Amino acid sequence: MPELPEVETTVNQLKKKVLGRTFIDVWTDFPKTIKKPKTFEQFKKEIKGEKIQKLWRRGKNIIFDLSEQKVLLIHQKLTGHLLIGNWKLEIGNWKPLKTGPLQEKINTYIHLMFWLSGNLMLALSDLRKFAKVELWTKEGFKNLKGFKNLGPEPLTKDFTFGKFRGILKNKKGKIKQVLMNQEVIAGIGNIYSDEILWEAKVHPFKDVSKLKEDNLKKIYQALRKILKKAVKLGGESISDYRDIEGKKGGFDILRKVYRRRGEKCSRCGTIIKRIKLAGRSAHYCPRCQK
């Protein structure tokens, strides 16, 4: 699933391409992607003519502030990613008009297509078809329970060590699970929780209540460091994620433990292990991370 760095990369790129443009039309071959309103026909009717006034990220969500007091919310889920370009529909499949990254197989699972003003198209490629798209009134969006409950953004200036320590003070559970809890901190998932804990030399199964001040400082510093680098490098594309041009992110050169089971730890040479934690994988170095 695209995490904070991937979603931030997508939003930053989209800002340069679609701000000020208007939705002209929309197509889908999988109406279930549209969660609100109830039918695709209604969604199509309401989105047409809406102008994109602002683009921003909250957690793993992409938010388009539109004219007429509306908000378009897109969550890419497991395999979804947004693409910009021009395509033509041939025998039920969208073919890019230009050669390049958009031709890569992972970018061809297009199930939602928007036409924008200025002869531009915005596509959602989603192999597993789990992504969700919702169109809200601004008032309704403000009262979204799931959105209200999101934790703080870890890369903002006010996300200090003191705030981080305070958030974890009364939390229970394993540190990896806590870091991935969107109501605790927004935007961190499986990839970056593994990378953060390796950098901080903390075992993913370590109980939060047993973490010492020094452990917390190292996790906080690692969290900020890893996420900033990942944003700068355009995210991680070990799986399905691609940027809006269909290109891979560049974080893979810094990936230390995630999906490196059986390889040597780049820090101490010990073999990386993979364990299951509440149905999710955790990768770690048994020597470095205690």
- Spell out where 109-257 has E strands: 110-116, 120-126, 132-137
Q: What architecture (CATH level 2) is domain 4-148?
A: Alpha-Beta Barrel (3.20)
Whether 4-148 and 161-284 share one fold: the answer is no
| Three-state DSSP class for residue 239 | coil
Residues β-bridged to residue 199: none
Q: Where are the domains of the chain?
A: 4-148, 161-284
In this structure, are residues 265 and 285 in contact, taking their beta carbons and an 8 Å threshold?
A: yes
**What pLDDT is attached to residue 92?**
87
**pLDDT tens digits for range 167-183:** 999 899 999 999 999 99
Give the Cα separation of 175 and 193 in Å (integer). Answer: 9
Active site residue 60: yes
**What pLDDT is attached to residue 146?**
82
**CATH placement of domain 161-284:** 1.10.8.50
**What pLDDT is attached to residue 219?**
98
**What pLDDT is attached to residue 132?**
97
**pLDDT tens digits for range 65-107:** 999 999 999 999 999 999 999 999 999 899 999 999 999 999 9
| Three-state DSSP class for residue 12 | helix
**pLDDT tens digits for range 132-160:** 999 999 999 999 988 889 999 999 999 99
231 C-beta neighbours (distance < 10 Å), count = 19
Give the Cα separation of 104 and 107 in Å (integer). Answer: 6
Q: Is the pLDDT reported for residue 277 higher than 80?
A: no
Give the Cα separation of 98 and 86 in Å (integer). Answer: 8
Q: Is the pLDDT reported for residue 278 higher than 80?
A: no
Which of 44, 57, 60, 242 is the catalytic position? 60
Which of 153, 201, 280, 286 is the catalytic position? 280
Take residue 33 and report the two structure tokens written for it: 């992607």
Q: What is the mean pLDDT of the chain?
A: 96
**What pLDDT is attached to residue 17?**
98
**pLDDT tens digits for range 207-240:** 999 999 999 999 999 999 999 999 999 999 999 9
Q: Is the pLDDT reported for residue 27 higher than 80?
A: yes
Give the Cα separation of 284 and 263 in Å (integer). Answer: 11
Which of 3, 8, 50, 134 is the catalytic position? 3
**What pLDDT is attached to residue 274?**
97
Q: Is the pLDDT reported for residue 280 higher than 90?
A: no
In terms of Cα–Cα distance, which of 93, 91, 154 is closest to 123?
93
**What pLDDT is attached to residue 145?**
85
